[in-house]
């Protein structure tokens, strides 16, 4: 099994650290959000606005199923922060590859996403409170879904990427 999946909350660095790690490993890189946006031809906020969250969740599961059936190898897949919430997706993630949870504290995540406008679930007056509440629900799910955890709070992206590379090489 030579694929790697990155999971974690919005702002945990899945895409940026994932891209760096994939370059070093010479793995293909993709991101479930990017795949969905390419296919639908509209942005994530537009998908939420037009079709609602449950439609988007269906697209996530469909995307993951196709990747599992495609027999790809040496792929590093970054996933949307809510993807592991569906149990069905947690099973698919494990089937696809080794699952790494990029963990970070609420405050760290807040600092990374506070100016961002591309995440519909964080469009609220109390972004910090929303992150705290969602993370309390999701952290146990991310832990259950993962084979290993990288604590990213005090790391720069290059360090996170290096940890991902080490894990990939040890698997
Ligand atoms: C979401 C995370 C986003 C994106 C969508 C929903 C979530 O991806 O899939 O806005 O539920 O946490 P990132 O984690 O890449 O920001």
Distance CA 128, CA 113 (A): 10
Nearest CA to ligand 1 atom 4: 80
Flag whether pLDDT at 1 surpasses 70: no
Domains and CATH numbers, the chain: 4-162 (3.40.50.300)
Q: What pLDDT sits at residue 61?
A: 98
For residue 7, is pLDDT > 70?
Answer: yes
pTM of the model: 0.97
Give the model confidence (pLDDT) of 19-30 as tens digits.
Answer: 999 999 999 999
Helix (H) / strand (E) containing 135: helix 127-145
Ligand 1 pocket, residues with Cβ under 6 angstroms: 10, 14, 33, 44, 80-82, 119-121
Q: What pLDDT does residue 69 have?
A: 95
Spatial distance between the Cα atoms of 14 and 66, rounded to a whole number of angstroms: 20
Q: How much is the pLDDT for 71?
A: 87
The string of pLDDT tens digits covering residues 80-99 is: 999 999 999 999 999 999 99
Q: Is 90 exceeded by the pLDDT of residue 171?
A: no
Atom number in ligand 1 closest to CA 15: 15
Report the residue among 30, 121, 152 best suited for mutation to probe ligand 1: largest number of ligand atoms under 8 A from its CB.
Answer: 121
Question: 4: phi > 0 → left, psi -120 to 50 → alpha, else beta; which?
Answer: beta
The number of C-alpha atoms within 13 Å of 141 and in the hemisphere containing its C-beta is 20
On the question of pLDDT at 18 being above 80, the answer is yes
Which of 85, 31, 40 is closest to 59 using CA atoms? 40
Share of the chain above pLDDT 70, in %: 99
| Residues facing 103 on adjacent strands | 151
What is the pLDDT at residue 127? 96
pLDDT range class, residue 169, cuts 50, 70, 90: very high
Sign of torsion, CA 109 11 162 6?
A: positive
Across the chain, mean pLDDT equals: 96
φ, ψ of residue 133 to 5 degrees: the values are -65, -45
Q: What is the pLDDT of residues 41-79, one digit of tens each?
A: 999 999 999 999 999 999 999 999 999 999 899 999 999
Nearest of 97, 40, 89 to residue 60 by alpha carbon:
89
Rounded Cα distance, 28 and 77, in Å:
8
List Cβ neighbours of 65 (8 Å cut-off, separation of 6 or more): 92
Which atom of ligand 1 lies at the shortest distance from residue 113's CA?
A: 16
The closest residue, in CA terms, to atom 12 on ligand 1 is: 81
């Amino acid at each position: 099994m030579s694929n790697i999946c990155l999971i974690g909350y919005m702002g945990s660095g899945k895409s940026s650290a994932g891209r760096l790690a994939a370059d070093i490993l010479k793995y293909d890189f993709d991101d479930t959000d990017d795949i969905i946006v390419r296919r639908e031809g509209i942005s994530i906020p537009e998908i939420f606005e037009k079709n609602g969250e449950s439609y988007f969740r269906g697209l996530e599961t469909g995307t993951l199923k196709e990747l599992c059936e495609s027999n790809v190898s040496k792929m590093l897949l970054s996933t949307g922060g809510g993807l592991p919430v569906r149990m069905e997706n947690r099973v698919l993630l494990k089937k696809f590859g080794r699952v790494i949870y990029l963990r970070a504290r609420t405050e760290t995540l807040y600092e990374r996403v506070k100016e961002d406008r591309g995440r519909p679930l964080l469009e609220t007056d109390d972004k910090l409170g929303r992150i705290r509440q969602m993370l309390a629900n999701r952290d146990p799910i991310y832990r259950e879904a993962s084979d290993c955890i990288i604590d990213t709070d005090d790391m720069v992206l290059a360090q996170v990427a290096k940890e991902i590379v080490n894990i990939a090489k040890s698997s």
